[in-house]
A and B are shown apart, each in its own frame.
Chain A
């Protein structure tokens, strides 16, 4: 089975801190995604990547950046964390160009105080 691993299940940070969320997949998938999940809003796409060193903005990229130096790893960076970035962050990967079937990690619940 495909495994998507997110480095932390829970994370607590302070306002203004630089935050790194790490995601690793073990099935050589080309595509990787970062979503945030908020009650009543569902999943919103932050950034995605089709290949190493490539990135594309999703629907809500403001306040975030990403890094993909290796195919299996996709990092989400909060340059200066703010309280409105408190959320559940979900990483996903998929193979091919249609990326219909996404494989998700179990999520990182980030609290910014």
Chain B
């Protein structure tokens, strides 16, 4: 079946460092891909999405490009802030329209 694999955390960075969180997917066909973020004590919220190959989703300085060749959707940010500390979930929408989530990657940004 369809699945999403994320790099294990935690990822610890200093403020203003470059961030990459890897995400790969397996699917039949071409699913829509998403990144959700969960701040401490809160539910998940949609960060960005891409619906077809080569699309780039972006929001709040974060970007991710849908790469069909490598079945990847890596999350990047050029300069992280302490307020970006959270858990990040990669997800895909499969053919049954259900969202399938990865295991989550915790990001800790130190001042």
CB interface residues, A 69-113, toward B, < 8 Å: 90, 92, 97-107
| Contact of A43 with B43 at beta-carbon distance under 8 Å, contacts A58-B98, A97-B97, A98-B97 already known | no
- The verdict on A41 contacting chain B, using a C-beta distance below 8 Å, is yes
Q: Are A41 and B42 in contact (CB under 8 A)?
A: no
Interface segment among B13-21, B67-75, B78-86, B99-107: the answer is B99-107
What is the CA–CA distance of A83 and B35 in the complex, to the nearest angstrom?
A: 31
Q: Are A90 and B43 in contact (CB under 8 A)?
A: yes
- A101 contacts across to B, CB distance below 8 A: 46, 49
CB interface residues, B 10-59, toward A, < 8 Å: 32, 34, 36, 41-46, 49
Which residue in B43, B101, B104 is a CB contact (below 8 Å) of A107? B43
Residues of B in contact (CB 8 Å), total 21
Q: How distant is B75 from chain A, measured CB to nearest CB, in Å? A: 15
Q: Are B89 and A4 in contact (CB under 8 A)?
A: no
Q: How distant is A45 from chain B, measured CB to nearest CB, in Å? A: 6
Q: List 10 A-B contacts (CB under 8 A).
A: A4-B43, A40-B103, A42-B4, A42-B101, A42-B102, A43-B44, A98-B93, A98-B97, A105-B43, A106-B42
| Contact of A43 with B97 at beta-carbon distance under 8 Å, contacts A90-B44, A104-B43, A106-B42 already known | no
- B4 contacts across to A, CB distance below 8 A: 42
- A43 contacts across to B, CB distance below 8 A: 44, 89, 101
Q: Are B104 and A42 in contact (CB under 8 A)?
A: yes
What is the CA–CA distance of A35 and B36 in the complex, to the nearest angstrom?
A: 14
CB interface residues, A 32-47, toward B, < 8 Å: 35, 40-45
**Minimal Cβ-Cβ distance residue in B for A105:** B43
- A99 contacts across to B, CB distance below 8 A: 97, 99
Q: How distant is A25 from chain B, measured CB to nearest CB, in Å? A: 12
Q: Are B103 and A42 in contact (CB under 8 A)?
A: yes
